[in-house]
């Protein structure tokens, strides 16, 4: 376990000091700030639209920096024979693979936290103007209204960020598995294609043909079902019932379009279990590829 933690720390530091990591994080933060200052002209739904755009941006930027880290940490080390030096020490291949994966998703988590914090600050800032309220008002009722809107929107955005990281972790596991054999030139487009396919699997239905049923089953099993990590219909596009706010249902009333925080976090827990299961599957495949891989690089 100690050796895995050492590899984790080394991979994490190596990932975050890469120029591409800092460049993309700076670019993403700048874009979030710009979008946070711009109106969306959606007739009262500007904050909702900004949250949806911000989540996409956080996922895209974090995914790109994660895939660059996977190539640098595994494939490049095999090609330049650095991996041979590491494997000459008393460390197993599974410890290397797991340690590097954990270090990579830790760097991905840092990216999600940084970009997510910027997005949350932008949400906090734009609430008064989006709902045509006075930011510097002295009216207690208006101050309470602004506070309620801010808490409600952030209550849905935080679990959405966690789901983004879980989705990123699943895609990173695929990237790590592929990086034991392929360079970034193949790895990056392959994971992006898998990401697109994973979002399309929600539209797959069971075919009537007995020959197509096993094919569809294999596709649904091998390709990650990324719809599991998409809860925007609840966290972004619905009001969230928070106690002591205007969004908490009045006694004796029933509101169909309200979501409770407990429901959201229960779903996040289910998504986390699926993410762990698929990550184990992907890393197991990566371990098989790694065990049969010569560590001498192109000449090995």
- Kindly indicate the confidence band of residue 187, based on its pLDDT and cuts at 50, 70 and 90: confident
What is the distance between the alpha carbons of residues 260 and 238, in angstroms, rounded to a whole number?
A: 10
If we measure between CA atoms, which residue out of 81, 103, 122, 107 comes closest to residue 20? 107
State pTM to two decimals. 0.88
What is the distance between the alpha carbons of residues 75 and 31, in angstroms, rounded to a whole number?
A: 31
269: Cα separation from own chain's centroid: 15
Structural domain tally of the chain?
1
Q: How many beta carbons lie within 10 A of that of residue 104, not counting itself?
A: 31
> At how many degrees (to 10) do helices 19-37 and 2-16 cross?
60
* DSSP code per residue over 19-66: HHHHHHHHHHHHHHHHHHHS---SSS-HHHHHHHHHHHHHHHHHHHHH
Q: Is the pLDDT of residue 272 over 90?
A: yes
Q: Is the pLDDT of residue 298 over 60?
A: no
Per-residue model confidence as pLDDT tens digits over 2-16: 788 888 898 899 889
Average pLDDT over residues 80-84: 74
Tokens 């874009």 appear where?
Answer: 31
What is the distance between the alpha carbons of residues 73 and 51, in angstroms, rounded to a whole number?
A: 32
What residue numbers bound the domain in which 256 lies? 2-299
Q: Is the pLDDT of residue 34 over 90?
A: yes
Per-residue model confidence as pLDDT tens digits over 40-71: 777 778 888 999 999 999 999 998 888 888 87
Q: How many beta carbons lie within 10 A of that of residue 69, not counting itself?
A: 29
């Amino acid at each position: 376990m100690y050796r895995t933690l050492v590899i984790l720390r080394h991979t994490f530091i190596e990932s975050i000091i890469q120029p591409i990591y800092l460049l993309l994080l700076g670019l993403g933060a700048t874009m979030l700030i710009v979008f946070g200052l711009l109106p969306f002209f959606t007739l009262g739904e500007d904050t909702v639209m900004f949250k949806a755009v911000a989540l996409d941006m956080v996922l895209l930027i974090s995914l790109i920096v994660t895939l660059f880290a996977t190539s640098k940490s595994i494939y490049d080390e095999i090609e330049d024979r650095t991996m041979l030096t590491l494997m000459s020490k008393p460390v197993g291949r599974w410890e290397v693979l797991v340690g590097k994966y954990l270090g990579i998703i830790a760097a991905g988590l840092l990216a999600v936290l940084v970009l997510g914090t910027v997005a949350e600050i932008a949400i906090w800032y734009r609430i008064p103007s989006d709902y045509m309220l006075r930011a510097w008002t002295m009216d207690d009722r208006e101050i309470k209204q602004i506070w309620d809107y801010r808490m409600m929107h952030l209550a849905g955005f935080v679990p959405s960020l966690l789901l983004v990281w879980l989705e990123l972790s699943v895609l990173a596991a695929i990237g790590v598995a592929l990086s034991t054999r392929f360079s970034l030139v193949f790895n990056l487009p392959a994971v992006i294609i898998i990401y697109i396919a994973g979002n399309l699997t929600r539209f797959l239905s069971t075919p009537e043909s007995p020959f197509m049923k096993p094919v569809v089953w294999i596709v649904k099993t091998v390709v990650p079902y990324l719809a599991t990590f998409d809860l925007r219909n609840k966290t972004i596009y619905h009001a969230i019932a928070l106690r002591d706010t205007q969004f908490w249902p009045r006694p004796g009333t029933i509101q169909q379009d309200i979501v409770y925080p407990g429901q959201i976090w229960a779903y996040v827990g289910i998504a986390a279990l699926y993410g762990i299961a698929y990550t184990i599957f992907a890393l197991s495949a990566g371990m098989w590829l790694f065990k049969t891989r010569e560590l001498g690089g192109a000449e090995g």
